[in-house]
Amino acid sequence: MESVARPLPNPNLNIRTLPSSSPRGSFTVSRVTFDQWRNRPRLRAGRHRPVAAVANPRSEHDVVVVGAGIIGLAVARQLLLSSDLSVAVVDAAVPCSGATGAGQGYIWMAHKTPGSETWELAARSKQLWEELAESIRDQGKDPAEVLGWKKTGSLLVGRTLEESYMLEERVKLLNQAGLQAEYLPASSLHLEEPALEIGKEGGAALVPDDCQLDASQTVAFIEEGNKQFNSQGRYAEFYNDPALSLLRSSCTQTVEGVQTSKNNLYAKRAVVIAAGAWSGPLMQSLIVQPNLLPNIPVKPRKGHLLLLENFKDLQLNHGVMEVGYIDHQVFTSSTRSFTPGAVEDDDNLSSISMTATLDVKRNLLLGSSRQFVGFSREMDESIVKRIWDRAGEFFPALKSLDNKIDKIRIGHRPYMPDGKPVIGPVPSLPNVFLAAGHEGSGLCLALGTAEMVADMILGNPITIDHTPYSVEGRFC
Ligand SMILES: Cc1cc2nc3c(=O)[nH]c(=O)nc-3n(C[C@H](O)[C@H](O)[C@H](O)COP(=O)(O)OP(=O)(O)OC[C@H]3O[C@@H](n4cnc5c(N)ncnc54)[C@H](O)[C@@H]3O)c2cc1C
């Protein structure tokens, strides 16, 4: 199998289409290709990058957001809607070229754990997504068409007695947290999902209010909304224009904005770094004295997702995920216990756990993999095969459809070793905020994150406890 990326402009740069004649795609950023830019030599820590503003065009904004993934765009949206500030969004490429374009679209609570540090943010964020879908409905539009929104309910499934017991306990916890959830033994599950095969000892947690969206449609909707503020001079986009350094006052060293490859973007109020998996290295290369900065250990966790278009070969009534996914998502080097049965290998700490959704366009999405292999965007055929085989274990009807994979999505989840995103001000850099490290939950957590960042910038009371996500006390 070979892979190809389409030429710019392309909101789905991380979608590899099968089959193709070109082994690897690249696209242009300024005068260098995107891949050359991504792989550019980095300054060693402690080396000083000259920040003298080159003769780029200059523009002034209240807030400059670096990164046009779901997090950066949602932060921009929240600021535009809840204040009169002006916002500029800058991206090295285009929206959806990072992890966002690869996302499967789960807006789920089933695999979040009540009482965990991210629970409150997930619950708030889900509420905001539901309110957004409702407001679209109130305007006489269909959220399915606008966001790819579907309230399918979620099924977290296990195939052993041990997993079934774990799921029963999870249902109790979810109920105690006020969520509607039900444990289904294999016999009842068969009525809900006839194509799903989990054996007699298996079971599932059903959370009927869980939803899903389509990341590309949602990003297009947010972008369109943000652009409404163009005419008031409150919104500007700078795409294919990587941020290179922070502009700082020569007297006070205060951060004054962002220097990109083509522009000097001054930010009167704040700079928000929302560059996903690139945020850690970017923070180090953006400033003159990186050794003064906390080391934000965000690293890329590559994921593959298989896509079968216009899928009608089996019925899928819910979003489905194997329970082993939970351990895979929160995996840290100190907690190396994967759920029995899930597929793992030690070479690059890769793991596969079955996920399956049918989106509003009838694309069947099968996931997913997790690997630590840097920023490689190459399709890995062995990973594709493992995802396919794993899906076939749960949906035997898939086994006869081997040649039906139409596309592979590849993205880099922004992984944090302690399993939590980092959201908040950078103590050593007044006016600079971080919003990154959402790993496999960035779509889910986007609106809650955006609300939190906007409230911080605006000095508003913060809706939920933000301390679990702060930079201070965690990295410095
Ligand atoms: C296979 C897969 C499935 C997933 N499924 C789900 C799911 O079902 N539900 C869910 O909630 N989450 C899911 N996720 C996770 C989710 O996609 C991410 O958490 C989320 O997209 C992260 O968003 P982000 O905006 O932080 O990063 P990104 O989307 O990666 O955006 C970062 C942006 O920063 C830009 N950038 C980088 N460097 C610079 C620079 N120097 N200057 C300017 N711009 C720069 C990049 O070009 C990029 O556009 C999935 C991820 C993968 C890979």
pLDDT tens, 305-339?
Answer: 999 999 999 999 999 999 987 876 655 444 443 33
Q: Which of 37, 91, 305 to mutate to test the pocket of ligand 1 (most atoms within 8 A of CB)?
A: 91
Whether pLDDT at 34 is above 70: no
CA distance 144 to 101: 18
Side-chain half-sphere CA neighbours of 424 within 13 A: 20
**How much distance in Å is there from the Cα of 63 to the middle of ligand 1?**
20
Q: Partners of 87 in the beta sheet?
A: 63, 235
What would the pLDDT profile of 216-236 be if each residue is shown by its tens digit? 999 999 999 999 999 999 999
Whether pLDDT at 388 is above 70: yes
> Among positive and negative, which fits the CA dihedral 149, 365, 303, 166?
positive
Ligand 1, closest atom to CA 304?
1
pLDDT of residue 401: 86
Beta carbon of 329 within 6 Å of any ligand 1 atom? no
Average pLDDT over residues 41-65: 67
Beta carbon of 91 within 6 Å of any ligand 1 atom? yes
At 59, list the tokens: 């523009």
Beta carbon of 422 within 6 Å of any ligand 1 atom? no
Average pLDDT over residues 26-41: 39
Residue 348's pLDDT band (cuts 50, 70, 90): low
Q: Which of 376, 441, 449 to mutate to test the pocket of ligand 1 (most atoms within 8 A of CB)?
A: 441
Nearest CA to ligand 1 atom 15: 440
Beta carbon of 367 within 6 Å of any ligand 1 atom? yes
pLDDT of residue 187: 94
Beta carbon of 93 within 6 Å of any ligand 1 atom? yes
- Are β-strands 407-415 and 299-308 bridged in parallel, bridged antiparallel, or unpaired? antiparallel
Average pLDDT over residues 257-267: 97
pTM of the model: 0.90
pLDDT of residue 55: 81
Q: What angle do CA 112, 74, 415 make, to 5 degrees?
A: 45
| Residue, of 155 and 296, whose pLDDT is higher | 155
Residue 440's pLDDT band (cuts 50, 70, 90): very high
Beta carbon of 243 within 6 Å of any ligand 1 atom? yes
Residue 127's pLDDT band (cuts 50, 70, 90): very high
Q: So where are the chain's domains?
A: 55-150+211-296+418-475
Average pLDDT over residues 296-308: 95
Classify domain 55-150+211-296+418-475 at the CATH topology level.
FAD/NAD(P)-binding domain (3.50.50)
CA distance 5 to 94: 14
What would the pLDDT profile of 233-247 be if each residue is shown by its tens digit? 999 999 999 999 999
Whether pLDDT at 141 is above 70: yes
| Residue, of 167 and 18, whose pLDDT is higher | 167
